[in-house]
Amino acid sequence: MKELGPPRDTPTPRQQEALDLLPEGLSNAEIGERMCLTTKTVRNMFFLAFRHLGVHTRARATIEVTRRLGEC
């Protein structure tokens, strides 16, 4: 059985890729199409990514992603 690694403090690269699409205002289905994922997978990715960001809503996640992009 595969061992799980330690919990992550940041989103995975794939979760970050999905988060980076939030400011474009795309739906989960549209993000799924771009990333070749099902809508359910996108929804699950956001659930986990939101936990990493410490937010509970898509709107707050979009603000956080936009803020972080501005820091670069």
The greatest distance separating any two alpha carbons of the chain, rounded to the nearest whole angstrom, comes to 41
> What is the third-level CATH fold of 13-71?
Arc Repressor Mutant, subunit A (1.10.10)
Instruction: Give pLDDT tens digits for 15-47.
Output: 999 999 999 999 999 999 999 999 999 999 999
pTM for the model: 0.80
pLDDT at 9: 75
> Phi-psi bin for 31: left (phi > 0), alpha (psi -120 to 50), beta?
alpha
Neighbours of 64 (CB within 10 A): 16
Amino acid (1-letter code) at residue 35? M
Which letter, b or e, does each residue of 10-33 get, where b requires 16 or more Cβ atoms within 10 Å of its Cβ? ebeeebeebbebbeeeeebeebbe
